[in-house]
Structure 1
Amino acid sequence: MIEILATLSAGAAAGLRLGIPLLIIGLLQGANLWSQVPVLSRISPYVLVGLLTSWSLFELFASKRLRGQRIIQMIQLFLSPIVGAIMGLAVASAAELPSWIIACVGGLLALVLQLVQLGWFYRLRGLPMWAVFLQDSLCVILVLFAVDAPQQGGLIALVLLWFAIHSAKQWYQWYWENSQQRE
């Protein structure tokens, strides 16, 4: 059960940002740098540090502008399930569950959270600055919790999943009311 909670926490972090969670996971492993992370263990650590640092800085600075948010949203929509699966496998490497289940849980949660962000982005015509800072902070917290306190991280991820479901319900009602008014 702890592995699933760690996977949920890591998948939620990947649903918020792409580079920051992978960079933190690699740096937390110390001198081994991604040696235990599937897919990333095949790439040179120096290349990964450069790529992930560059992408993390781009995410941090570009997310503060509307055009940057659009670019990030498009890229994250396609890559968040992959990063969520990698993050899930990285934090639950000693799990008794089959690795494909862990990868699916992490990837699907990352995709769901990314779709919710995309929905709020288009409904609000850009995310407010406080929400962007909340995403950045929550992403770091979720990665750290996935490694050190998976129960708390999993609980936060489940709250985010509840928020996603609640948002979908609100969007459906909003869409239904607007379609009724047009008729």
Structure 2
Amino acid sequence: MIGILAVLSVSAAAGMRIALPLLVIGLIQGDLWQQVPLLSRIQPPVLIAVLTAWTLLELFVSKQLWGQRLLQFVELAFSPLVGAVMAMAVARILKLEPPNLIWILGTVGGLFALVLQLVKVGWFYRLQGLPTWAVLIEDILCVLLVLFAFKAPNSGGLIALLLLWLAMRSSQSWYQWYKEGKKQVDR
């Protein structure tokens, strides 16, 4: 059960940012991405350079409205892949068995990251851009979720489940908002 909570934790981090959680997971592990599918084939110095550059781009550009708009397309496209890769990496690091479970957790992790990214995009369009304080909280929470996946998987998993609950509440709120807007148009 602890392994599943750790997988949810890193998947939630991948649902917020792409490069930042990958960089953190690589720096936490001593063998630098050897357990991470796809990334284990790339030379570590090249991978560190690319992930550092993309992380800096995510951190600085995401504070501007145009940057949020630019990043959301890339993050929406790649968050399921990054969520799946990170979920499978954590499952391998924690040595979860059987191997089929790793693929299932990878699929769940990718879908979870996609759901959180879709909610983020929805809030972006509803609010006409995310406030800077929300983006800062997102950055901090992203790093904390990766750290919690290894150091305190129960806490990280519970935070991820709380984020899932908030995503479901958001969808209900959007539906109500849509219905009220449609009623006003029909009048």
Q: TM-score, normalised by structure 1?
A: 0.98
Structure 1 residue 96 displacement after superposition: 2.0
Aligned partners of 1:156, 1:72: CA distance in 2, in Å?
24
1:95 equivalent to 2:96? Answer: yes
Tell me which amino acid in the other structure corresponds to 2:137. Answer: L
Aligned partners of 1:173, 1:130: CA distance in 2, in Å?
26
Tell me which amino acid in the other structure corresponds to 2:12. Answer: A
The CA deviation string for residues 61-116 of structure 1, in whole angstroms up to 9 with x for no partner, is: 00010000001111000000000001111112111252211101111110000000
Residue number in structure 1 paired with 2:26: 26
Q: CA RMSD in A?
A: 0.7
Aligned partners of 2:77, 2:131: CA distance in 1, in Å?
23
- 1:56-75 paired onto structure 2 within 5 Å: 56-75=55-74
Aligned partners of 1:173, 1:26: CA distance in 2, in Å?
42
Residue number in structure 2 paired with 1:166: 169
Aligned partners of 1:120, 1:36: CA distance in 2, in Å?
34
Aligned partners of 2:152, 2:104: CA distance in 1, in Å?
21
Tell me which amino acid in the other structure corresponds to 2:27. Answer: L
Give the secondary structure class of the aligned counterpart of 2:15. helix
Residue number in structure 2 paired with 1:9: 9
> Identity of aligned pairs, percent?
61
Residue number in structure 1 paired with 2:39: 40
One of 146, 149, 152 as aligned partner of 1:146: 149
